[in-house]
Amino acid sequence: MGAETDLWVPVVDCMGQYTHLIKRRLQRLGVTTGVIPVTTPFGEIREADGLVLSGGAPRIGFEAEKLDNLKDYLDHFQKPVLAICVSHQYLAIHYGGTAGVATRPEYGPTMVEIVGDDPLLEGIPNHITVWSSHNDEIKILPPCFKTLARSTNCAHQIIKHCSLPYYGVQFHPEVSHTEHGLTLLSNFVRICSGYSQGRHTQSCSDPV
């Protein structure tokens, strides 16, 4: 970790309290990055090698319109995207899923079980403690996504699109309390590098 790369992976600020931490972690991984507002036109980031969409204050069931500029990114970017917390929920809604108030909101340390195989999870054990901070959750996952991790109270802790390099995580990998959070971010950077060189990750139809 920390080797210099030629990758540009900006952090889209969705009004989150940990956005600055995402930028620091990416800088530690040697990535060219910076924080940009969620209102940034797609044309200004179309040449990026990947995007990280931060968590944020908007409640997905009440204020999702504050994130509506993400539609343009998700419709046209088609390079690796990592959506965190509320952006993770927005990702599911954008593709036809549903999200709303969690039956049991999660705050603080949360045990997560890895249930899928993916390059994003390389080097991460099957059970990790992560840092959670969410009142809302994905209720119904769209059919074009698969679940890679879950917790006792949240069925979709990590998700991946079946044919696009779009990932969502409900917890906060950027926070130091999340075990193997930097590993997950490093794996995402590696996925970005692979796409920039024409290598793709597996889809839902690929064997695991």
Contact in structure between 139 and 99 (CB atoms under 8 Å): yes
Is 85 in the active site? yes
Q: Where are the domains of the chain?
A: 11-196
- Write down the catalytic residue from 134, 172, 179, 192: 172
Is 94 in the active site? no
Contact in structure between 110 and 193 (CB atoms under 8 Å): no
Is 174 in the active site? yes
Contact in structure between 115 and 150 (CB atoms under 8 Å): yes
More confident position, 2 or 37: 37
How large a percentage of the chain has pLDDT more than 70? 91
- Write down the catalytic residue from 106, 137, 174, 179: 174
CATH superfamily of 11-196: Class I glutamine amidotransferase (GATase) domain (3.40.50.880)
How large a percentage of the chain has pLDDT more than 90? 78
pLDDT at residue 141, rounded to an integer: 98
pLDDT at residue 208, rounded to an integer: 31
Residue 102 region by backbone torsions, left for phi larger than 0, else alpha for psi between -120 and 50, else beta: beta
- Write out pLDDT tens, residues 92-129: 999 999 999 898 989 899 999 999 999 999 999 999 99
- Write down the catalytic residue from 85, 88, 156, 161: 85
137 pLDDT more than 80? yes
Least confident among 5-9, 60-64, 99-103:
60-64
d(CA 76, CA 22): 23
pLDDT at residue 142, rounded to an integer: 98
Residues 6+ apart with CB under 8 A from 158: 112, 114, 116, 120, 121, 147, 148, 149, 167, 168, 169, 170
More confident position, 12 or 207: 12
